[in-house]
Amino acid sequence: MAVTVLLFASWADAFGPRVELDLPAGSRVQDVLDSLAARAAGRTLPAPMVAVNQRYARPETPVAASDEVAIIPPVAGG
Amino acid sequence: MAVTVLLFASWADAFGPRVELDLPAGSRVQDVLDSLAARAAGRTLPAPMVAVNQRYARPETPVAASDEVAIIPPVAGG
Amino acid sequence: MRSAIVDHVLDPTALLAEVASADSGASTLFVGTVRRVNDGREVLGIDYSAYTPMAESELAAVVAEAAERFGTAHVVVEHRLGTLALGEASIVIAVSHARRASAMGAQKYVIEQVKARVPIWKREHYADGTREWVDPTRATPAGTPVAGLP
Amino acid sequence: MRSAIVDHVLDPTALLAEVASADSGASTLFVGTVRRVNDGREVLGIDYSAYTPMAESELAAVVAEAAERFGTAHVVVEHRLGTLALGEASIVIAVSHARRASAMGAQKYVIEQVKARVPIWKREHYADGTREWVDPTRATPAGTPVAGLP
């Protein structure tokens, strides 16, 4: 399935603000991270959180093609 | 010696804003309080702090005729 | 740093501007106001009075202590005296600091110390027509004096 | 209560007025500003960006939690995005409450939660011409990435 991933801050600098990943059905948040790591080619980036449909998700949270998945690098608001 | 005592809030309502006390030489803050208590005639007033020359003083602090003595009822600023 | 006992309407915005600094990452403002209900009684207004010269020196000491303890010169406090209506400000505390925790700590230090030791008193006017000096040391309901003369 | 992610200059005075209430005895304002030095480097300005729809919902959740935990509806927060100059405000938090401890507690809760979970990022511009995303989880000096991909 095609999953659209939004990226921000240092992760957007590295991958662009939006990436389409081709993942097997039944994939989880951890699979999204692993897939991006495979593309990272030695770059060091801060460990992110992941949001699914604008809520923080856990590594084992399932991901569907219709979900809005976002990579959330360490936040620095305020 | 004559000692001038300034009073505030509930104590000023009871005694007026200023009282002259006639105290023996060598008197202390506690003697000022005892002298006022003797005039209180059964009134109930909140226990005060005492300032001598605009600084908080203890019961054993000596009082001189030239001192500015003040009765400080419980403060409620802010 | 600066502190003052004043008899005019307070201007929180001016105090916030007074502590502004490009070296500060956080500014805080505390505004104490006359509130409608105290100890279950309806309040119409408050008279604030002070032992003014000592209140000025104690307030200055509190500000200097806060500046020293929390490491910032940007501490400004004004306390108003006189008759205040509902919602009017009696005290404004402005602090700025490089770090937010210190700004908030200094603010808390100032208000707690003011309430503990600066010789200012307030007499509340109640909707039932009575007036009473507020005694924060008294745990019992207003109107029941419990402390006798020493 | 109210929260917003905005792209215009913040107005602390307006937010303070927004939380004013005759039932409140204390109002607090927290203003986060761009400061000159961070981690020993001279800062000229900061770009703030966000995952805006999620930042809006997280900020609204933080405000609702603060209102619930501290018992006041008078909580208003605005966070600004875009390029901010030295001294400009990035966030304003206004709270009022009957009691000062709760007003200060709600203020602290909001800023801590914003910094922990609202998806907003800042990129600092330094006097040496470089720009860098700020990573509060990184304990080492800026410029030394330590966390690899998962």
Domain of residue C52, CATH code: 3.90.1170.40
Domain of residue A61, CATH code: 3.10.20.30
Does some domain include residue D144? no
Does some domain include residue B77? no
Which residue of D lies nearest to A41 if distances are taken between CA atoms? Answer: D149
Count of CB atoms situated within 10 Å of the CB of C121? 26
Average pLDDT in chain C: 93
Does some domain include residue C103? yes
**Per-residue confidence (pLDDT) for residue C146, from 0 to 100:** 37
Query: What CA–CA distances, in Å, run from C133 to C46, C54, C61, C86, D14?
Result: 9, 19, 25, 17, 34
Which residue of A lies nearest to D32 if distances are taken between CA atoms? Answer: A78
Does some domain include residue C150? no
pLDDT > 50? residue D147: no
With touching defined as 3 or more inter-chain CB pairs under 8 Å, the answer for chains C and D is: yes
Q: Please report the number of interchain residue pairs, chain C to chain D, with beta-carbon separation below 8 angstroms.
A: 94
pTM of the model: 0.93
**Per-residue confidence (pLDDT) for residue B41, from 0 to 100:** 76
**Per-residue confidence (pLDDT) for residue D140, from 0 to 100:** 53
Contact criterion met (CB below 8 Å) for C80 and C8: yes
ipTM of the complex: 0.93
Does some domain include residue A77? no
Domain total in chain B? 1
Domain span including residue A40:
2-72
Does some domain include residue C136? no
Calculate the CA dihedral of residues B11, B15, B17, B21 and round it to 10 degrees: -110
Does some domain include residue B25? yes
Domain span including residue D63:
2-131
Q: Is C80 exposed, middle or buried (0-12, 13-18, 19+ CB in 10 A)?
A: buried
Does some domain include residue D140? no
A19-65 pLDDT, tens per residue?
A: 999 999 999 999 999 999 988 877 889 999 999 999 999 999 999 99
Identify all chain B residues contacting C143, using CB atoms and an 8 Å cutoff.
Answer: none
C59-105 pLDDT, tens per residue?
A: 999 999 999 999 999 999 999 999 999 999 999 999 999 999 999 99
Domain total in chain D? 1
Does some domain include residue B78? no
B23-67 pLDDT, tens per residue?
A: 999 999 999 999 998 888 778 899 999 999 999 999 999 999 999
Residue C147 banded pLDDT, cuts 50, 70, 90: very low
Identify all chain C residues contacting B45, using CB atoms and an 8 Å cutoff.
Answer: 145, 147-149
- Cβ–Cβ below 8 Å for D133 and A44: no
pLDDT > 50? residue C149: no
Does some domain include residue A78? no
Buried b (16+ CB within 10 A) or exposed e, C106-115: bbbbbbebbb
Strand, coil or helix: D144: coil
Does some domain include residue D10? yes
